[in-house]
Amino acid sequence: MFSEYTATELTAIFAMQGFAGLILFSVLVLMALGLAIIFGQMGVINMAHGEFMILGAYVTYLTSNIFSEFMPSLYEGYFFLAMALAFLAAFLLGILVEWGLIRFLYKRPLDTLLATWGLSLILQQIYRSVFGAREKGVSPPEWMMGSYPLTDLIEVPINGIFVMILTLVIATGVYLLMYRSRWGKQVRAVVQNRPMASAVGINTEKVDRLTFGIGCGIAGIAGSAFTLIGSTGPTSGQLYIVDTFLVVVFGGAQSLLGTIASAFAISQSQSTMEFFLSGSMAKVLTLLFVVGILMLRPQGLFALKIRR
């Protein structure tokens, strides 16, 4: 399959597909970071995670509409406000969901799968009723359009670069929050042993609520970034939820670094293979690869070594 291309063309293809893979990687990481907190740390199987992302995307869509309608002069900067609003909306919905649903299910983690699956169907229908079944596109601000030519053959899109920087910032932020802050310490204590965490003086209910909210909020930011590379429909989130779980499980449920490494491996192999094979064939090969690795290392790529 490589024979019809020259060597320079092949390099360019690999570089550009690699870059496309990096964008996919960034969105996957953003989604997976939220899920790594909610599923990896709290053990809640949140099937509605994709819908929280889409909420962020719709909020971005609304913000962009409001800006182009009422404040076209400020349109260049709307995206940053949109991200903050997307985070806030998903965060608040997350807190509401934790309070109304998830907190009753910490002792029954498998039931969270069913409950959040139901929640995802409800949210999808709400999106369909409010925004319509058609996909909505958001036009990014001027400075994010176009691409930056590296060589004659290789061009990298600017929105891709933006998404990657955003991912880097958020990932660093989540790392600092989980491993350097007092709140992160409390979260890790609570997820490891809820009754004992309470018995050393941690208000576990408050920590749980905030943790779930922040995980959902990060998904909201992922949704905001998602509008830069695709259009938003009521069911767009579902396309990503399987990949996201795959990333978290493959990376090792409690490791942020593992999550990032596995998102990289999955998105790169996916994107590079997609160019040469069909999309579904690329997916099959990726899944086979992941299944193979998980059979050899059921704990995922990165797991902590401790006595249990």
Partner 1 sequence: MLQVNDYCVAYGQSEVIHDLNFEIQPKEIVAVMGRNGMGKTTLMKSLIGMQPSSKGKVVLDGVDLSNAKSFQRVQGGFGFVPQGRMIFSTMTVKENIETGLTSTGEKTIPSDLYELFPVLEEMKGRRGGNLSGGQQQQLAIARALASKPKTLLLDEPTEGIQPSIIRDMARTLKKIRDTRGLSIVVSEQVLSFALDIADRVLVLEKGRIVHEELRENLNEAKVAAYLAV
- For residues 187 and 280, give the distance between their C-alpha atoms in angstroms, rounded to a whole number: 39
3-state secondary structure at position 193: coil
Q: Compute CA distances 210 → 30, 39, 96, 111, 242, whole Å.
A: 18, 14, 11, 21, 25
In this structure, the number of other CB atoms found within 10 A of the CB of residue 45 comes to 20
CA of residue 32 relative to chain centroid, distance: 4
Residue 175 or 289: which CB sits closer to partner 1?
175
Least distance to partner 1, CB of residue 215, Å: 19
Residue 120 or 204: which CB sits closer to partner 1?
204
Residue 199 or 242: which CB sits closer to partner 1?
199
Residue 188 or 283: which CB sits closer to partner 1?
188
Residue numbers of the site for partner 1 (CB under 8 A)?
A: 182, 185-186, 188-189, 192-193, 195-204, 254, 304, 306-308
Residue 129 or 192: which CB sits closer to partner 1?
192
Least distance to partner 1, CB of residue 38, Å: 18
Least distance to partner 1, CB of residue 260, Å: 19
Least distance to partner 1, CB of residue 174, Å: 17
Q: CA torsion angle for 102, 85, 123, 132 (degrees, to 10)?
A: 180
Residue 133 or 199: which CB sits closer to partner 1?
199
Least distance to partner 1, CB of residue 223, Å: 31
- For residues 23 and 271, give the distance between their C-alpha atoms in angstroms, rounded to a whole number: 10
What single-letter DSSP state applies at residue 77?
A: G
DSSP character string of 3-53: TTS-HHHHHHHHHHHHHHHHHHHHHHHHHHHHHIIIIIIT----TTHHHHH
Least distance to partner 1, CB of residue 271, Å: 33
- For residues 115 and 212, give the distance between their C-alpha atoms in angstroms, rounded to a whole number: 15
Residue 7 or 306: which CB sits closer to partner 1?
306
Residue 204 or 244: which CB sits closer to partner 1?
204
- For residues 43 and 48, give the distance between their C-alpha atoms in angstroms, rounded to a whole number: 14
Least distance to partner 1, CB of residue 302, Å: 13
DSSP character string of 108-126: -HHHHHHHHHHHHHHHHHH
Least distance to partner 1, CB of residue 115, Å: 24
Inter-helix orientation angle 256-276/279-296, to 10°: 140
